[in-house]
């Protein structure tokens, strides 16, 4: 095992076998040792160290040490895997390089140790969490981005020469950083499946997603540090991105609550920005239709008398009034659990709006909503289906070519399909799905430990009828308490305020 050499002690650096790390003093970092990365033969890795030095300059705060360690780990792991599997062979094509990445992803997600305890690679890696793989994929993507700026370096180790050459070809053929990052996720996820590693077996429970929580009955909490990636790279359609934004950032509604949203429940407000409102499915009100209940609104505007008898959308009624018949794949049923609505001087609808845990999410949601209306719900739109004109519900069933659809295209989205949106997005970034309700717990976890929201406010944000119901979502981490009382424990990803890409925050 390679080691870090510190001033006080010799500390093992886990998982590194063939590459080497030696702490050296540099002019750039003064008395702070720089972890110099070398190959097995002792030659310095110019590309890895230049990239690492760049990252250390970008993350100068001591609190970022965990991130730098992640960077070091993935670079050394890749170098180790190159030595272990391709020490004496070159990459002759991009296909060979893609195969290497796929094998590398399998080694990370499933480990390299065989059932009998042997390991032909000599790496002896154990499997790591899928969310950690997602973090590693980000670092690897940024490393290849850096290679695009890395020119004319002499005296490479021969194996690094091959890596740099194929890396530049890889960048040339995959210039879009976001698409490339998504490809890393997919390669790693598919590699895990193709080598017999069952993602479903790696259930993401509380101890994995929210470190140091030790409830008697562990709850599944979505790791909010992956929320942006889940939406940007896990979801491919505008509709799915909107659903995930609501689940993770928009008040953490239950799936059934999303199923009742009308198109008119979304609008822009000069003070509150993007507003999405919830209301009781039958007795609630409709924006722009004062004095009429939602049930009356459906009866008045969507009786659909011209449809043949027996058509699911004839005589449309609130979705919670349909029968939940097991085995009926074309059901419209969508449950409803009572929620608390506050009262203020801002008006009825404002009292029912979602509480965006991050403003950027609300801006992005409204951008997507405008495009979604044009593409899916307006005649002439790219994905418009006449069935969508027969009801007012926001989210509709898509084409689902080659997949079993629970409802015909253009119908209100079924609850099973809604759950499928979340599961599919998780799988697309290599994360074993913790279940859609984990987003509600993740919302509470982020509110409490990152934004310091107190319990009463969180109860209002989650719209609990009973004040005690919030206890299940008020996940106050011991690290939060420790630092509040004057401690200085290192902050992990799950405790950091999220940052958002430009395409989220620019309204135009």
Q: Is the pTM of this model over 0.85?
A: no
Q: Does one domain contain both 228 and 376?
A: yes
Q: Does one domain contain both 243 and 167?
A: no
| Residue 507 counted as domain residue | no
Q: Does one domain contain both 374 and 409?
A: yes
| Residue 441 counted as domain residue | no
**Per-residue pLDDT, 374:** 95
DSSP string, 439-465: HHHHHHHHHHHTS---HHHHHHHHT-S
**Per-residue pLDDT, 294:** 93
Tokens representing 505?
């925050």
Q: Does one domain contain both 193 and 133?
A: yes
DSSP string, 163-201: HHHHHHHHHHH---HHHHHHHHHHHHHHHHHHTT--GGG
Tokens representing 309?
């008898």
Residue 52 contacts residue 35 (beta carbons within 8 Å): yes
| Residue 480 counted as domain residue | no
Domain boundary among 377, 396, 431: 431
Residue 31 contacts residue 11 (beta carbons within 8 Å): no
**Per-residue pLDDT, 9:** 35
**Per-residue pLDDT, 346:** 66
For the chain, the distance separating the N- and C-terminal CA atoms, rounded to the nearest angstrom, is 52
| Residue 77 counted as domain residue | yes
**Per-residue pLDDT, 371:** 94
Q: What are the residue ranges of helices labelled H in 28-157?
A: 46-58, 65-86, 94-110, 130-147
| Residue 493 counted as domain residue | no
Q: Does one domain contain both 125 and 8?
A: yes
**Per-residue pLDDT, 194:** 46
Residues of the chain with pLDDT under 70: 1-15, 58-66, 87-90, 129-131, 148-159, 176-219, 324-330, 342-350, 399-406, 465-467, 480, 482-484, 486-495, 507-508
Domain boundary among 431, 446, 481: 431
Q: Does one domain contain both 86 and 180?
A: yes
**Per-residue pLDDT, 424:** 92
| Residue 484 counted as domain residue | no
**Per-residue pLDDT, 189:** 54
Q: Does one domain contain both 196 and 319?
A: no
| Residue 268 counted as domain residue | yes
Give the C-alpha separation, 124 to 132, whole Å: 18
Q: Does one domain contain both 312 and 277?
A: yes
Residue 352 contacts residue 341 (beta carbons within 8 Å): yes
Number of domains in the chain: 2
Give the C-alpha separation, 363 to 23, whole Å: 45
Q: Does one domain contain both 246 and 384?
A: yes
Question: 98 — phi, psi (to 5°)?
Answer: -60, -40
Residue 390 contacts residue 302 (beta carbons within 8 Å): yes
What pLDDT digit, counting tens, does each position of 2-53 carry?
343 443 333 445 567 778 788 788 777 777 778 888 887 777 888 888 888 8
**Helix 238-249, helix 359-372: angle, nearest 10:** 150
Q: Does one domain contain both 163 and 229?
A: no
Domain boundary among 399, 431, 463: 431
**Per-residue pLDDT, 49:** 83
| Residue 499 counted as domain residue | no
**Per-residue pLDDT, 425:** 93
Range of the domain at 129: 3-200
Give the C-alpha separation, 403 to 395, whole Å: 18
Q: Does one domain contain both 229 and 154?
A: no
Distance of CA 436 to the CA centre of its chain: 12
**Per-residue pLDDT, 330:** 56
Q: Does one domain contain both 8 and 118?
A: yes
Give the C-alpha separation, 44 to 33, whole Å: 16
- Compute the half-sphere exposure of residue 133: CA atoms within 13 Å on the CB side of its CA: 35
**Per-residue pLDDT, 375:** 93
């Amino acid at each position: 095992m390679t080691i870090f050499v510190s001033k006080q002690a010799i500390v093992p650096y886990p998982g590194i076998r063939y590459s080497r790390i030696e702490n050296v003093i540099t002019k750039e970092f003064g008395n702070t040792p720089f972890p110099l990365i070398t190959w097995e033969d002792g030659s310095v890795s110019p590309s890895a160290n230049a990239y690492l030095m760049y990252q250390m300059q970008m993350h100068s705060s001591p609190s970022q040490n965990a991130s730098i360690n992640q960077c070091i780990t993935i670079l050394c792991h890749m170098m180790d895997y190159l030595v272990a599997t391709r020490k004496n062979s070159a990459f002759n094509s991009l296909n060979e390089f893609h195969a290497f990445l796929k094998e590398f992803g399998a080694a990370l997600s499933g480990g390299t140790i065989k059932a009998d305890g042997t390991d032909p690679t000599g790496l002896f890696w154990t499997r790591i969490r899928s969310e950690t793989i997602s973090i590693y994929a980000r670092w690897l993507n940024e490393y290849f981005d850096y290679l695009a700026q890395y020119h004319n370096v002499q005296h490479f180790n021969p194996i690094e020469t091959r890596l740099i050459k194929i890396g530049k070809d890889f960048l040339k053929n995959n210039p879009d950083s976001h698409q490339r990052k998504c490809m890393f996720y997919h390669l790693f996820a598919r590699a895990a499946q193709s080598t017999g590693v069952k993602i479903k077996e790696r259930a993401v429970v509380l101890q994995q997603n929210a470190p140091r929580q030790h409830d008697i009955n562990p709850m599944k909490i979505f790791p909010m540090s992956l929320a942006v990636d889940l939406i940007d790279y896990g979801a491919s359609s505008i509709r799915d991105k909107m659903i995930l934004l609501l689940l993770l950032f928009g008040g953490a509604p239950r799936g059934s609550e999303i199923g009742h949203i009308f198109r008119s429940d979304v609008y822009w407000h000069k003070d509150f920005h993007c507003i999405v409102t919830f209301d009781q499915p039958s007795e609630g009100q409709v924006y722009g239709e004062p004095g009429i209940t939602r049930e009356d609104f459906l009866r008045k505007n969507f009786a659909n008398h011209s449809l043949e008898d027996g058509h699911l959308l004839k005589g449309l009624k609130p979705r919670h009034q349909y029968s939940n018949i097991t085995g009926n794949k074309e059901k419209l049923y969508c449950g409803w659990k009572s929620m608390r609505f506050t009262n203020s001087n801002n008006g009825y609808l404002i009292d029912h709006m979602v509480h965006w845990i991050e403003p950027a999410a609300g801006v992005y949601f409204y951008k997507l909503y405008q495009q979604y209306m044009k593409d899916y719900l307006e005649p002439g739109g790219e994905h418009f289906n006449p069935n969508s004109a027969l009801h007012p519900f926001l989210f509709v069933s898509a084409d689902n070519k080659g997949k079993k659809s629970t409802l015909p295209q253009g119908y209100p989205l079924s609850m099973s399909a809604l759950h499928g949106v979340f599961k599919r997005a998780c799988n697309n970034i290599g994360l074993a799905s913790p279940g859609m309700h984990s987003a509600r717990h993740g919302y509470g976890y982020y509110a409490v430990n990152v934004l310091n929201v107190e319990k009463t406010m969180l109860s209002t944000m989650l719209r609990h009828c009973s004040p005690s119901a919030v206890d299940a979502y008020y996940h106050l981490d011991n690290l939060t308490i420790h630092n509040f009382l004057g401690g200085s424990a290192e902050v992990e990803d799950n405790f950091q305020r999220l940052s958002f890409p430009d395409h989220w925050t620019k309204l135009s």
